[in-house]
Amino acid sequence: MKKLRTIICAVSALVLASMTTSPLIADNSNFAGPYVGFQISAVGVELDGDVTGDTVATTDDVNETTTGSVGKTAVIGGLELGYAIPMGEGFILDIGAGYVAGGAKIATNNTDTSATADVIFEVEDLYSAFIAPGFAISDTSSVYAKLGFTHAQITVQGDVTKPDDMEGTTYAIGTRTVLESGLFIRSEAGITEFDSLAASGLAQGGTGKTISTGTRVNADPTVAYGSISIGMRF
């Protein structure tokens, strides 16, 4: 993921550099104004983390640390809205927000049938806000680099403490094509790096699946995505 972030940042720098060196100044008025769109994204989630302590509460817990990573892919839908502001000389400043309803679940379990310790984390209601400077490369097409803030709620089932909601930074690059009717198509690729998550066991939980209070889980979630948006500029 770090390599992917480096590539996106490098391409974003090239996009921004091209905005100041291109001798062709296209009409950016076609992109101006408010818009709303529906977005379909293919996402890949990677969790790098570690677990310290025993999984099941006992009187002889051994403090051990296990590290690893897990990945998962999915296709999700969402809504986006924003306002594109022409800035002169082909520049466009896009300010917007997005929302993805529903949730994604990540489940862990202990295969020890005498002391099952299932835990389910659910990430839902993802909100984002972004700023995306861009440049019109023709009267109907533009390129942009995006910087955004993303927030998602977390719920948990099982005998562990609830982590704080997820917050992270999004880096992306993309293109947008606008037709005379106002219909637009946007394609985008990016990553979101979330802050670290932390949870620990609750030896006396309500589910009967006891996890030692000495068990601590830390994870660094990263999401890579590619998306297509179709919408209308007003």
pLDDT of 68 strictly over 70: no
Tell me the domains of the chain and their CATH numbers: 2-47+71-210+217-233 (2.40.160.20)
Residue 140: its H or E element: none
pLDDT value of residue 2:
57
Tens-digit pLDDT profile for residues 134-143: 999 988 999 9
Structure tokens at 117: 């310790």
135, 142 Cβ separation under 8 angstroms: yes
Q: What mean pLDDT do residues 121-142 have?
A: 89
Q: Provide the 8-state DSSP code for 201.
A: B
233, 184 Cβ separation under 8 angstroms: yes
pLDDT value of residue 154:
81
For residues 150 and 154, give the distance between their C-alpha atoms in angstroms, rounded to a whole number.
13
Confidence of residue 12 (pLDDT cuts 50, 70, 90): low
- In this structure, the number of other CB atoms found within 10 A of the CB of residue 59 comes to 4
> Where is pLDDT greater, at 169 or 215?
169
For residues 232 and 230, give the distance between their C-alpha atoms in angstroms, rounded to a whole number.
7
Q: Which of 87, 88, 90, 84 is nearest to 25 (CA)?
A: 90
Q: What mean pLDDT do residues 129-150 have?
A: 93
Q: Which of 196, 225, 191 is nearest to 2 (CA)?
A: 191
pLDDT value of residue 116:
46
Share of the chain above pLDDT 90, in %: 34
221, 166 Cβ separation under 8 angstroms: yes
Most confident listed range (107-116, 168-177, 201-210): 168-177
pLDDT value of residue 230:
96
Q: Which of 123, 134, 127 is nearest to 188 (CA)?
A: 134
For residues 152 and 37, give the distance between their C-alpha atoms in angstroms, rounded to a whole number.
20
Tens-digit pLDDT profile for residues 14-65: 555 554 545 455 678 889 999 999 999 888 877 666 666 654 444 444 454 4
